[in-house]
Homo-oligomer: A and B are copies of this chain.
Amino acid sequence: MKLKEEIKSSGLKLTRHRQEIFRLLKESRQPVTAEQIYATLRERNISINLSTVYRILDSLSGSELISKINIGEDKKNHYEYNCMAHRHYLVCLCCNNIFSVGDCPLSDYEKQVAKQTDFVITGHKLNLYGYCSNCKDKAGQCH
Residues of A participating in the B interface, judged by any CB pair closer than 8 Å: 70-73, 75, 90, 92-93, 99, 101, 105-106, 108-110, 113-114, 116-133, 136, 139
Contacts and interface: CB of A to CB of B under 8 A. Distances in A.
Q: How many copies are assembled? A: 2
A105 B108 CA distance: 9
B113 A121 contact: no
B130 A119 contact: yes
What are the 8 closest A-B residue pairs judged by CB atoms, nearest first? A72-B72, A121-B130, A70-B72, A118-B133, A105-B109, A122-B130, A120-B131, A124-B128
Contacts of A122: 93, 129-131
A119 B90 contact: yes
A121 B127 CA distance: 11
B110 A128 contact: yes
